[in-house]
Amino acid sequence: MAVSLSMKESSYISQVIYRINLCDSFSDLSRILLSQIKTMIPYHKAMALKVTSRNNEFVYEEPYFTGPENDPFDESRFVEGSYRSIWWEYMEAPWSSVFRATDSREEEEWNNSALYKEVYKPQKLYYALQATFVHNDIKLGMIGLYRRKEDGDFTDKEIFFLELLKAHIELKLYRLVTRYRGFKADPTAPGFSVPKALINDYSLTRREEEIINMMLNGAADNAITEELCITKSTFEKHIHNIYKKTGTKNRVGLFGLFRG
């Protein structure tokens, strides 16, 4: 999937990542994320859920829903009942996933399913773009973006937008969830590391490697300087060198280079 971003789009994604890192609760993260993401990925309704697994069943926590004022989201249709949605299967994976629902189902089968007839159709919904978040084998949550049939399906570029944000949402959610659930986990531990071969290819120093890994895992600038005990000016010098060596201009460029 070859996708190119304009400077405006890259800048906006960087702003969303910054806002994500400022959130200090799941409700805040849900509200900020779903409101900001709508500029890049228009939707009719959306939801965000924290998820835990008990006795092979998913338990929803702090569900957040949004939709038009004249067409409110009926929460009960999504959090009650025993409908087996596609995202359940993705939640079983050991990593976070982004997927367009139409890529995993046949249209005729979908139109005849109980999930569509009893949940989606009454909500005037048809298409879905969803992301599940799993970090260190801990199931964290999911978001779902939904459109009416007349709005058309989600595009490859919109999937790419959500892919760019996935790792940052995952890490932020991991820190929030482990804090509130009382896990004895290191919230600064990276979930992704740039392969050593690439570090060598770009002649990155050990310190630059530490910084780039923290950046790609969603750490804010002040969190990086505090963790590495360096000044802001020293951090900015390292960033300048990283961008120069890799030929990138911002975090989105780094993400596309190392995680694209």
The whole-number pLDDT of residue 225 equals: 84
Question: Is residue 204 pLDDT above 50, yes or no?
Answer: yes
Rounded-to-integer distance, Cα 88 and Cα 51, Å:
10
User: Is 240 part of any domain?
Assistant: yes
Last residue of a domain, one of 127, 156, 181: 181
* 105 compared with 99, residue with greater pLDDT: 99
Domain span including residue 239: 196-259
Across 37-41, 167-171, 240-244, 249-253, least confident range? 249-253
Q: What angle do CA 185, 91, 2 make, to 5 degrees?
A: 105
| Range of 14-18, 133-137, 197-201 with top mean pLDDT | 14-18
Q: Give yes or no: residues 176 and 205 share one domain.
A: no
Examine the domain organization and report whether 151 and 33 are in the same domain: yes
User: Is the pLDDT confidence value at 135 over 60?
Assistant: yes
Give CA torsion, residues 151, 35, 222, 254, to 10 deg: 10
Q: Does some domain include residue 140?
A: yes
Coil, helix or strand at residue 73: coil
> What CATH code is carried by the domain that includes residue 60?
3.30.450.40
**Domain shared by 108 and 226, yes or no:** no
* Cα distance between residue 215 and residue 222, in whole Å: 11
Task: List, in sequence order, every residue forming a beta bridge with 144; answer none if it has no partner.
Answer: 47, 130
The answer to whether residues 51 and 170 belong to one domain is yes
Pair 253, 226 in one domain: yes
Residues of the chain with pLDDT > 90, as a percent, come to 32
- Is residue 28 situated within a structural domain? yes
Write the CATH number for 223: 1.10.10.10
Give the distance between the most distant pair of CA atoms in the chain: 60
pLDDT averaged over the chain? 83
Indicate if 241 and 145 belong to the same structural domain. Answer: no
Structural domains in the chain (count): 2
> In terms of Cα–Cα distance, which of 178, 177, 249, 174 is closest to 218?
174
- 118 located within any domain: yes
Does some domain include residue 187? no
Q: Are residues 153 and 205 in the same domain?
A: no
CA-wise closest residue to 33 among 148, 160, 144, 156: 144
**177 within a domain of the structure (yes/no):** yes
User: What pLDDT is recorded for position 227?
Assistant: 77
Query: Do 122 and 69 reside in the same domain of the chain?
Result: yes
| Domain final residue, candidates 131, 154, 181 | 181
Query: Any idea which residue has 């992704």 for tokens?
Result: 192
97 and 31 assigned to the same domain: yes
Residue 243 lies in a domain: yes
**Same domain, yes or no, for 25 and 67?**
yes
Answer yes or no: is 107 within a domain: yes
On whether the CB atoms of residues 130 and 141 are closer than 8 A, the answer is no
Band the pLDDT of 132: cuts 50, 70, 90. very high
183 pLDDT above the threshold of 60: no
- Are the CB atoms for 164 and 1 separated by under 8 Å? no
Looking only at the bridges linking them, the beta strands covering 97-100 and 138-147 are unpaired
Given 118, 153, 181, the domain boundary residue is 181
> Could you tell me if 166 and 72 lie in one domain?
yes
Co-location of 128 and 49 in the same domain: yes
